Structure 1
Amino acid sequence: MRAAAPTSPASQATAYAYFVLATLTLLNLLNYVDRYIFSALVPYIKAETGYTDAQLGLVGSAFTWVYTLCSPLFGYFGDRYHRGRLIAIGIFIWSLATAAAGLARSLMQLLVARAAVGVGEANYATIAPSLLADYFPKARRGLVMSIFQSTIPIGAAAGFILGGYLGAPDAFGWRHTLLIVGLPGLLAATAMAFIREPQRGVMDEPTEQAAALESIGWMEGYWRLLNNRGYVFTCLGYAAVTFALGALVFWAPEWMKTDKGLSEKEANLVLGICAVVGGTFGSLIGGFLGDALNQRLRGVRGYFLLCAVSGGLACIPMFVALVSTTPWVYQACTFITLFLVYIGNGPANTLVVSLVAPNLRTTATGFLVVAIHVFGDGISLALVGWISTYLRGLATAGQPPPAVVSSVAAWCGLSPTTQTLSVALLLMPVALIVAGLLYGFGLLAPEAKGDSAQS
């Protein structure tokens, strides 16, 4: 049977498109509650089990690595099969695994459960953006992706607050908290199985719709992506941001407790407010600014410019938050850091679906996940935990830290023996500077200017 001829792109999203956006956004909220509540529970898990920072960092990294390794597989499936049904399977897996983590009786069981959460969330995060791209025209995708991504800080905030209060021993405890937050997703999975599958590329130009009908092999698809310089710089810039943000969010409750002197509940409340207000407003403002800038600049340079500026500037408040001892200063700077970082979140995801052809969007999102976690928080979570444990071990043994660490810590006004997490987290402002530079290089790529055909 002959494929239908490409048609003119639809200029307006339908009411059903907004229903899909609302559904996927609410599910993304649940996704990130399940993901970040574990970080809030780390102090409680540590107190009950005696696991070290290095061991808990390994658990965090297990989720990240499995999430990363599964993403290309779901990217391949998402470009070929019904995306709603695939997403339903992912929701079911991550919800069941979150609940299972509450039943873990050993470090290995906890690690396996969190790794299984990574399987389900890789499915969702990889497939959902391409589904949204086929429901909305290009001119609105920046805002749409920002609305979808705004649930990251809201979900993180809900995770911090719920974890801080429900996870306390005098409340439900960390085990029952994981059971409580995991079960609702089992019901949500049913809804996604019935989402309509739109024609791929229906909201794009006729030439791009024609490309969507082309069958591309696994290796050829990745070859096209790697030869798209704009896409590659987007992946690398996003990876540098994830290196910084992933470590900050995972270790922030323990950092504010051990290095800043806050209680578990106080730390999670502060982080929850910073994430939900700073992150949400940053995401939404980023969507409006990205679309506005992109209408004034050729190609997709507006999105690149916004990502470069917001990512680079975020290094300043993050550094101040790490070295300050004044509560309102480090709390305000944490807020500003999250606000600036999340400004670029929607635009960066918009770049991924705008720089590649419709039949490669899910593959491109899957490869993005690999890049940001292999070079991002897949390294930084465990690295920060290892550095902190190493420095604390030297202090316990009465041995001095390495000279370079002592010098950097002294220059920053930090103690390498008592503020070990603050010293380890000093890597994060550096990563944000690198992110700004990489997005800046992407701004100069021919694909960003529209000089090169989509891959």
Structure 2
Amino acid sequence: VFVGCLLLSAPVFGYLGDRHSRKAMLSIGILLWSGAGLSSSFISSQYSWLFFLSRGVVGMGSASYSTIAPTVLGDLFVRDQRTRVLAIFYIFIPVGSGLGYVLGSAVLQLTGNWRWAFRVTPCLEAMALILLMVLVPDPPRGAAEKQEEVAMGGPRGSWCEDVRYLGTNWSFVWSTLGVTAIAFVTGALGFWAPKFLFEARVVHGLQPPCLQEPCSGQDSLIFGALTVATGIAGVVLGAEASRRYKKANPRAEPLICACSLLAAAACLYLALVLAPTTFLASYVLLALGELLLSCNWAVVADILLSVVVPRCRGTAEGLQITVGHILGDAGSPYLTGLVSSTLRAGRPDSYLQAFLSLQQSFLCCAFVLALGGGCFLLTALRLERDQARARAPGTGTLPRTPSTRAGLRAELTGQAASATPSQ
């Protein structure tokens, strides 16, 4: 319910964020998820459908923030500052997730009732709402580039025209497919990696077989801690590498994403292959793969902000989130489990065969990461062209007739000629 509502509402908030006050949209999002979280703590078991409905409302609130907040940062900062601020923004996603587990567990131990965890967090969300209203400005779209009217891309078009423009923006298309590959693998790992690690310890004789579910509690805790730690380190590493490397290479951002995904694919493959023989090496390689995956989040957001005109950035964020989840982590846990069950069906019923079936189903994830790396390589081929198009006057949702294409080409050629030093 949460994921479904997030997917459906992300394009809606993207559309609204491109046309109305983004500060108001963010405030509505905070009110939605804090109000839904607080009210869900008072729902009795006989009204369980209301609890699921509240989870959907929380998903809607989350969609508003994940869609609109990066576009506000894109209009407040530019170049190196933007990269650093996006890194800080994405660092707090794993930090917040980890603190949520810690706070929820602490409140449960103190009160003996899980409902109080849903009554504490709205206090923090109320503070966030006050800080948002008092401290955060609502800059004009394109303000950071100091070309508000030029960067807006002409008269306001419809949502369909925005989507049509984004469909011809190949840097956006290829980077979205790369993000989808990342989401596919992170979704599969988050669901199945603790079970895989538990079964690996059983095969190595480090853990007795489990006869009653849940079995992988310790491995879930360890993998969760690894995810938080590598998430923080990866975002910082990716953003800093992008900031430094793009001074020498204007295509640095997609190249960093491509290299990190290809290296993560190799780490995941080696972790799977070595798991039956060397458990510790498998753990280390899996953590390294998680680190490399996390290098992409801030960098991908920077790519989107640089290749899409400011007037369409909210719609672009919403579509990227929706496509990434629908084709990525929404189905990858099920597909991984389906492949594992299919492979296991024709084998003897044993812990070793269960482990090997899950290991082989995970190999698909390494292949998907390699495809994602290829998508970012294709992004690098188009990046400079789409960045120039986003900066050019009159681009955006306007129909691209032959005359406008010729005019844009002539203008870009003239800019390049004027920038060339005379001999």
Q: TM-score with structure 2 length normalisation? A: 0.77
> Shift of the alpha carbon at 1:332?
1.9
1:292 correspondence with 2:235: no
8 Å Cα contact 2:141/2:148 also seen in 1: no
Distance 1:423-1:91 versus aligned 2 partners, 3 A rule: farther
Deviations 1:385-427 (A, max 9, x none): 5556xx3xx8xxxxx8355xx69xx9xxx84436765554443
8 Å Cα contact 2:141/2:152 also seen in 1: no
1:82 correspondence with 2:21: yes
Task: Tell me the distance in 2 between the aligned counterparts of 1:192 and 1:451.
Answer: 33
8 Å Cα contact 2:200/2:279 also seen in 1: no
Deviations 1:141-160 (A, max 9, x none): 22221221112232333345
Task: Tell me the distance in 1 between the aligned counterparts of 2:337 and 2:35.
Answer: 27
Task: Tell me the distance in 2 between the aligned counterparts of 1:224 and 1:449.
Answer: 11
- Select the residue among 237, 240, 254 that pairs with 1:304: 254
- Select the residue among 152, 174, 185 that pairs with 2:125: 185
* Aligned residue number for residue 342 of structure 1: 294
* Aligned residue number for residue 69 of structure 1: 8
Matches within 5 A, 1:77-156: 77-99=16-38, 103=43, 105=45, 111-156=52-97
Task: Tell me the distance in 2 between the aligned counterparts of 1:169 and 1:384.
Answer: 35
> Shift of the alpha carbon at 1:207?
7.5
Distance 1:186-1:450 versus aligned 2 partners, 3 A rule: closer
RMSD: 3.4
1:429 correspondence with 2:366: yes
8 Å Cα contact 1:142/1:291 also seen in 2: yes
> Equivalent residue of 1:197, what SS?
coil
Q: What fraction of aligned residue pairs are identical, expressed as a percent?
A: 27
Task: Tell me the distance in 2 between the aligned counterparts of 1:424 and 1:158.
Answer: 32
* Aligned residue number for residue 331 of structure 1: 283
* Aligned residue number for residue 274 of structure 1: 226
Task: Tell me the distance in 2 between the aligned counterparts of 1:319 and 1:173.
Answer: 42
Q: Is the radius of gyration larger for structure 1 or structure 2?
A: 2
Provide structure 1 residue ranges, at least 5 long, that are not aligned to the other structure.
1-61, 395-399
Deviations 1:214-246 (A, max 9, x none): 322211111111100111101111111111112
Distance 1:186-1:431 versus aligned 2 partners, 3 A rule: farther
Deviations 1:251-290 (A, max 9, x none): 4445545664687663344234322332212111111111
Provide structure 2 residue ranges, at least 5 long, that are not aligned to the other structure.
208-214, 397-423
Q: TM-score with structure 1 length normalisation? A: 0.72
Deviations 1:67-96 (A, max 9, x none): 111111100111122212211211222234
- Select the residue among 443, 447, 455 that pairs with 2:380: 443
One-letter code aligned to 2:133: A
**How many pairs were matched up?**
376
One-letter code aligned to 1:284: V
- Select the residue among 211, 224, 249 that pairs with 2:165: 224
Larger mean CA deviation between 126-135 and 250-259 belongs to 250-259
> Shift of the alpha carbon at 1:122?
0.5
Task: Tell me the distance in 1 between the aligned counterparts of 2:38 and 2:216.
Answer: 22
Distance 1:311-1:133 versus aligned 2 partners, 3 A rule: same
Task: Tell me the distance in 1 between the aligned counterparts of 2:356 and 2:126.
Answer: 41
One-letter code aligned to 1:306: I
* Aligned residue number for residue 137 of structure 2: 196
Task: Tell me the distance in 1 between the aligned counterparts of 2:242 and 2:11.
Answer: 27
Larger mean CA deviation between 188-197 and 426-435 belongs to 188-197
> Shift of the alpha carbon at 1:114?
3.0
* Aligned residue number for residue 238 of structure 1: 179
One-letter code aligned to 2:257: C
* Aligned residue number for residue 369 of structure 1: 321
Distance 1:451-1:136 versus aligned 2 partners, 3 A rule: closer
Distance 1:272-1:116 versus aligned 2 partners, 3 A rule: same
* Aligned residue number for residue 3 of structure 1: none
